[in-house]
Structure 1
Amino acid sequence: MLEDCKTAQERWGGVHEMIDRWLEQRRKLIEAAIYLRERGEYTPLDTPKIQLFCEMLVDYVSAGHFTVYEQLALEAKDFHDDSAVDLLREHLPLIDSSTEVAIEFNDRYDTKAHCNAQLESLLFSLKALKVVLAERFQYEDRLIKELHEANSEKNA
C-alpha cells in the first residue's frame, strides 16, 4: 500500500497518518478499558460491551503487527538506520509477549458464552491486561519516537 507511493513525502507522510490513526485507535481502546474497569460488577447485559472491547483489542494489536511495525521497519531500512533496526529487533519480542496476553484475553471473553461463563474473573483479567498493555504502549512509543520521528527529521 504505502510502498507504491512515488515520493518520500507521500510515503512517509502516509506512515505518519497511519500512526496517528493507530494512536487514536489506542486512545479508544484505553477509554473502553477504563469504562469496563470502572463498572466493577458485571452482568450478562455487559457482554456486548465486553465483546466490543475484545474486537477493539484485536484490531489494535493486529494493526501494530501487520501494518505499523512493518512500515517502521521499512522506514528504518530505507534510511539505512541500523540502530533503529536493532531497536525494532529488540522490542518486537517484548511486544509479542503482550500480544499473546491480549489474544488470550480475547479468547476468554470474545463470545457471549465465553464471556458470561467468566464474568466473575473479568475485573482481575482487565487489571492484568492493563499492566501488560501499559508496558506494550511504552515499547511502541519508543519505536515511534526512535524510528519514525528520527527518520521524519531526516526526510524533512
Structure 2
Amino acid sequence: MGNSTTWISLNDLGRFYGISAIHCGKILHQHGWRDRRGQPSDDAINAQAARHLGPHGQTQSVVWNQALCRELFETKGLQPVSLSRQIDQWSQFLEAMQSGSPSIASTADQMAEDMPSELVDGVNQQLAERGCSFRVPPHSPSGETKGLSLLG
C-alpha cells in the first residue's frame, strides 16, 4: 500500500460530512464495516477501509480510509460540507471557546489541535475579521495523525 492513503478518525470523517461520529458509525455498521462494539469488522480490515493503531491487546485507536469511506458515504447520498462552511463552523466554535464557559473543560487551543490543517489559514482570517484575538497555530500536513505511526 502506498503512502497516498489518508487515514482519519471517525470524528474527522463526521466533520467532513457535517454529521456526528455516531451517525458515521451507524453507516459503517450497516455496511458491515463496524461491529456492535464500535470496532472495525474483519471485512473492513480486509478491504483496507480501517486499521488499528497501537499494540494488540491494549487500547487501540482506529482510523478509517478516507477515500473508501467517501465512496460509501456518497453512495448513501451524503455530500461533503463545503470548505467555506467548515471554516465558518470552526471560526464560530473557536470564538465561542475563547470566550469561555465554566461548563467547558477544554480550551480553544486544545480544540484547535483537531482542526484539519487545510482550514487553518481560512479560519484565522475569519477570526481576524470577527475581531477575535485567537489564532490557530500551523498544523502538520493533512493526513498525518499526531504522534502515531501509520505504517504496518
Which TM-score band (shorter chain)?
A: under 0.3
Q: Say which structure is richer in strand.
A: 2
Q: Say which structure is richer in helix.
A: 1
TM-score by length of 2: 0.28
Higher relative contact order (CA 8 A, sep 6+): 1
